[in-house]
Amino acid sequence: MAEGKRLPKFLDRLGSGFVYVAITIVCVLVNEWLFVAYLCAVSAICAYEFFAMMHKDQKVTNMAVGIVASALYPLAMHLWGLQGVAAVTVLYLMLLIVWYVYFMRARVQDISLSFFGAGYTGMMLSSLVLLRAALPHPWGGVLVLLLFVSIWVNDIFAYLVGSKIGKHKLAPYTSPKKSWEGFIAGLIGSAIVWYGMSWLPGVQMNIVQAIAFGVICGAAGVVGDLAESRIKRNVGVKDSGTLLPGHGGLMDRCDSLFFGSVVALLLLMLGGCLP
């Protein structure tokens, strides 16, 4: 009976995962505008899921403005670069202050939570716009796609090894199923993909940098995963949403990417690996 219940869940997980990956690959590779539109949509959905979780925890946030701000970050990055991101940030904070003045239920901590929601999702994901634009078409898209792959491989390796031989808990109070054995396996998988990334035309990254950056980026992805796990544990929910059957919400699929994308951009830029 248990097997009969498990099969439909597995098929749901497989099907929704395939659709998510297929849409991601197409949007990343076709052109910059489609990728920006994809990031705007992902940012908005993740922001909605974040604010919805906060409301379940009886927190007061400005969901509507937060979702719009989150969606604007990738677009502003594409149109005006870091100056655009700074402009969205300042305007968003000003709107939150006006909201605080006229919405008497709001407290200072509600401004902080609202501000964090858009920054945690849209602002961090907007770093992918700069990463894609760093190389000419189609290699910028391939670079971003390989970053996605490194995060997916990290998760897959960590799950496979952790579920088989994982004995030492990585973060027992935040995510009890994660193990140090799985964590190390995930970092190895990430380093392998980053080594492949070093062969892209325009990327100047030696094998030592590739392995080191792969390990660092993989670790950053795990931190992002644990951060979302901590949020869900505080709120008392298992998943951020129900958009992806078998996986939960979109935020559950992008949590590692929030941290991983920013760290990857910083590593490649500060390491002198991009033109």
Q: How confident is the model over 190-228, as pLDDT tens digits? A: 999 999 999 999 999 999 999 999 999 999 999 999 999
pLDDT given for residue 263 in this prediction? 97
What is the 8-class DSSP label of residue 176?
E
Average pLDDT over residues 218-247: 92
pTM for this entry:
0.94
Q: Say how far apart CA 239 and CA 189 lie, in whole Å.
A: 25
Q: What would you report as the CA-atom Rg of the chain, rounded to the nearest whole angstrom?
A: 19
Q: Which helix (H) or strand (E) is 90 found in, with range?
A: helix 82-102
Per-residue confidence at 10, pLDDT binned at 50, 70, 90?
A: low
Cis peptide before 138 (omega within 30 of 0): yes
- For residue 135, how many C-alpha atoms fall within 13 Å in the half-sphere facing its CB? 25
Average pLDDT over residues 26-55: 97
